[in-house]
Structure 1
Amino acid sequence: MTHSSYADSKKETWETFRKKNHSFLRTRLIREFLEDSVHQQLLKQALNEEAAWAYKAVDLSFKRYYQDVIWRAYMLKTLHWQAVRYDRYHRRRQQRTPLSDQEEMFEEAGPFSSRIEEQSLEEELHHYSIWLGFRSLTPYQQWIFSKKYSSGWKDTDIANHLQVSRQAVSNAHRKGLKTLRLYAGK
């Protein structure tokens, strides 16, 4: 058998297998397995050589791939349900201590400008859109941003200073960032 006729017979074997097992090869798991050129080459080699070692190699390769798929699915489900539980917990806690109560407590402490000792963060902003976004924040959020970014305070330090929870500071910061992103167009 010449090299070209041997290559043609290999091609015919693969094509014959594809035609006979068309629906099997269209399943998502098999299709994704065969997208990897190494797996595809192993299968072609097993079909053409019909050797026991080649079939074992394909079988072992598929088992490893399938275990990886099962592991990824397990991790994704675990992450999903952890996120659901966290969100449920966060919403319940938010209902018990709404942020608006903490903002009112902050406003009673005095005007924003009297509490800033160092250079204002507003003066450090160079992009007009971000500066506008900063100006649209509540005084509570502006003060948190100034302490966090100009003075380098951590959420815990800000929470201790304001006598609120660290989560309240984090929520105000997160909402402020959302506002700034809107103004920045991102």
Structure 2
Amino acid sequence: MNKTELFHIAENWFSRQNWTPHAFQKATWTAFLNGKNGLLNAPTGSGKTYALWFPIVLNYITQNPDYKNKHKKGLKAIWITPLRALSQEIKQSAERVSHDLGTQLTVGIRTGDTSNSERQKQRRSMPDLLITTPESLQLLLATKGYPSIFKSCSAIVVDEWHELLGTKRGVQMELG
């Protein structure tokens, strides 16, 4: 699928929500799909989650033409946020897109509040998108056997980076 077709999928989704994608969202999609990385700075509530999650989903669609029928499991993206409350919002937005597009992509959260049973479930089968905090990521990276889980990860999003600058949590992120 070419970029025009991929953008058509995204723009149709936005249209069904009665929204129009912002220029920064389209620019982010283009950059990611062209293999670039970068920093996105936009106001709160402007659609950063969709700017960052959509190209990950579109990349998955490109790599899996039969994405509606066959789900390729494995961690595809890690979304790091210092704010646990934000984790639920990101999860809801990501699941909404994944569900509406029929991708079968799964979304999970791993924070200090995550139950042991959920952690064990994730150890057996990681979600496609893992939303986590710096502390939980640090623990995950230090756990035996986890390097193999990261092999299919194609994106790392650090949300609310300014909240981490100059703090112990920011140092944890840098070391991770």
Give me the TM-score of the superposition, normalised by structure 2: 0.23
Give me the TM-score of the superposition, normalised by structure 1: 0.22
Structure with more strand by fraction: 2
Structure with more helix by fraction: 1
Structure of larger gyration radius: 1
Q: Which has the higher contact order (CA 8 A, sep 6+)?
A: 2
